[in-house]
Amino acid sequence: MQTQMQAVTISQPGNAEVLTLAQIPVREPASDEILIRVEAAGINRPDILQRQGLYPAPKGASEIPGLEIAGTVVACGSKTRRYKPGDRVLSLVTGGGYAQFCLAKESSTLPVPETVSMVEAGAIPETFFTVWTNVFDRARLNSGEIFLVHGGSSGIGTTAIQMAKAMGARVFATAGSDEKVKSCQKLGAEKCFNYKNEDFVEQIKTLTDNHGADVILDMVGGDYIARNIKAAAIEGRIVSIAFLHGSKAEINFMPVMLKRLTITGSTLRIRSDREKAAIAEKLETRIWPLLAKKTIKPQIFKTFPLAQAADAHRLMESSTHIGKIILLPWQ
């Protein structure tokens, strides 16, 4: 087995230039882990925060950024049972994705459907796990309900639109350009609102006969927190998973009480192996058949070689992309 690999390290907290390509040892898997030759690694907002020193890796996790990978199994721990060398897999990891090899818990690893490319597979774990656990487990979105996702053209947004549509919900989204609006509607959003010139609160009320959104998935925060409360339906559920506009807001809680709203949120990286395994099981049962049939398809915007990880981060920070940005460690 190869003993050295290329990996992206963070030399110090800062801008994209602190991402440095280094040669480091390949670690052997622990008893419950598998070692994966990484063929695609997704870029995510938490990677940006980690680089900036705002989202440190959990205790015991790799300091190398990267939370989702796809590739080929090359070695297995003594207590693993499902996978063998040569298997095509994707995995949610706590770190280490920006590298040519990555250790992954077998319980957070799923097979790559034959109809899904490795590049597409690298876009799946972080986004699909996040959407499922927040929209369907936490917010309990049901068929026929009205779903609103902010940042509809992001990796999370494009995934949430497709999943919610496939599960029978009426889907709405917000995005920041006419091109992004069109892409969200093409993916299944009944209507996408350009937040630069449309009021999503007024629009969602009008288009739902004043019902509002049963479930709102928010990655914006800031002033959107109060606006989400206005846009929510009676018994609505609002889930926050990021705060691009800040995590603090002054809000009136009277509508929360009168509408009987649930306001919640979660992070994924620090959750237990058991919790992640439970999400993986639900995804394989409910979503994997849709992936195999291409009813749901990861949206890839651009790929970069590992040495250009800084350029990939700059692109994500520009917010001009639609869908996922992927690193190709062997390119």
**Beta bridge partners of residue 25, listed in sequence order:** 4
Residue 152, CA distances (Å) to 60, 175, 194, 242, 282 in order: 33, 6, 10, 14, 23
Residue 155 · residue 233 · CB < 8 Å: no
Question: Is residue 219 scored above 90 in pLDDT?
Answer: yes
The residue extents of the domains of the chain are 4-124+269-328, 128-265
CB 83 within 8 A of CB 106: yes
State the chain's maximal CA–CA distance in angstroms: 62
Residue 1: per-residue pLDDT: 74
Q: What is the pLDDT of residues 230-289, one digit of tens each?
A: 999 999 999 999 998 999 999 999 999 999 999 999 999 999 999 999 999 999 999 999
Q: What is the CATH number of domain 4-124+269-328?
A: 3.90.180.10
Find the helix or strand (DSSP H, E) in which 38 lies: strand 33-42
Distances (CA, A) of 249 to 216, 225, 243: 17, 7, 11
Q: How many helices (H) and strands (E) does the chain have?
A: 11, 15
- What is the reported pLDDT for 310? 98
Sequence-distant (6+) residues with CB within 8 A of 252 are 226, 229
pTM comes to 0.96
pLDDT band at 55 (very low <50, low <70, confident <90, very high): very high
CATH topology of domain 128-265: Rossmann fold (3.40.50)
* Per-residue pLDDT reduced to its tens digit, 101-157: 999 999 999 999 999 999 999 999 999 999 999 999 999 999 999 999 999 999 999
How far apart, in Å, are the Cα atoms of 207 and each of 4, 84, 117, 245, 254?
A: 57, 51, 37, 26, 24
Average confidence score pLDDT of the chain: 97
